[in-house]
C-alpha cells in the first residue's frame, strides 16, 4: 500500500537536535504526531534520559521537545509499506530535510532504527553532508533490547546537548 507522510516536521529556529524515524506507524499517522503507538518506547526513553515527565498529550510532547531544542521528522515522504513494518518499505521518496537545516540551528542528527539510518545515508546524507548517529528503534517490534539499554543508547542526546 502506498503511504504518504501526513504531517509536518516538528521544529523551530532554536532546534539543535534532529531525530529522524523512517515512516510514522499507522497509529501515529492516525493521531497526526510522532511515536504515538502506545507500545512505542520513544517517549518513555526520553523521560528517562532527561529525568522528567513528558505527559500524554501531543501538546505536552511538543512543549518537551521545544524546551530541549529537539526537532522530529522522518526520512520518508512516501513509500510502499505493509502496515507499519519497516522491513516491508519499498519505493521510497525521501523527505528533503534541508528546509529544517536552513530554518533551525541543528547541530546533531539522530536516526531511530536501522531502516531510518540506512535511508538517511542513501538519500539524505549526500545532500546534507551531515553524518547521522544511529539510535535503537523504539518500536514495539524491537522488543529484544531491554529498556535500560535503550535509555543508555539515547543518553548521547542529552550528553551532547549539555
> Which of 4, 40, 142, 153 does the annotation list as catalytic?
40
Residues 6+ apart with CB under 8 A from 53: 47
Residue bearing cell 533551525: 104
Rounded Cα distance between 33 and 43, Å, is: 12
Backbone angles phi, psi at 94, to 5 degrees: -75, 155
40 in active site: yes
Give the residue from 72, 76, 85, 71 showing the smallest Cα distance to 25: 85
Total Cβ atoms within 10 A of residue 18: 24
Which positions are catalytic? 40
Amino acid at each position: 500500500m502506498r503511504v504518504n507522510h501526513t504531517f509536518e516536521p516538528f521544529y523551530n529556529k532554536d532546534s539543535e537536535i534532529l531525530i529522524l524515524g523512517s515512516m510514522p506507524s499507522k497509529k501515529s499517522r492516525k493521531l497526526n504526531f510522532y511515536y504515538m503507538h502506545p507500545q512505542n518506547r520513544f517517549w518513555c526513553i526520553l523521560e528517562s534520559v532527561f529525568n522528567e515527565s513528558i505527559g500524554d498529550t501531543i501538546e505536552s510532547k511538543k512543549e518537551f521537545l521545544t524546551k530541549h531544542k529537539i526537532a522530529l521528522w522522518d526520512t520518508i515522504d512516501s513509500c510502499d509499506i505493509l502496515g507499519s513494518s519497516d522491513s516491508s518499505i519499498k519505493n521510497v521518496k525521501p523527505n528533503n530535510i534541508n528546509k529544517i537545516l536552513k530554518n533551525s540551528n541543528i547541530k546533531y542528527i539522530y536516526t531511530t532504527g536501522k531502516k531510518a539510518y540506512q535511508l538517511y545515508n542513501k538519500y539524505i546524507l549526500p545532500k546534507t553532508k551531515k553524518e547521522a548517529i544511529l539510535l535503537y528503534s523504539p518500536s514495539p517490534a524491537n522488543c529484544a533490547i531491554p529498556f535500560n539499554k535503550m535509555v543508555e543508547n539515547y543518553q548521547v542526546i542529552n550528553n551532547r546537548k549539555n
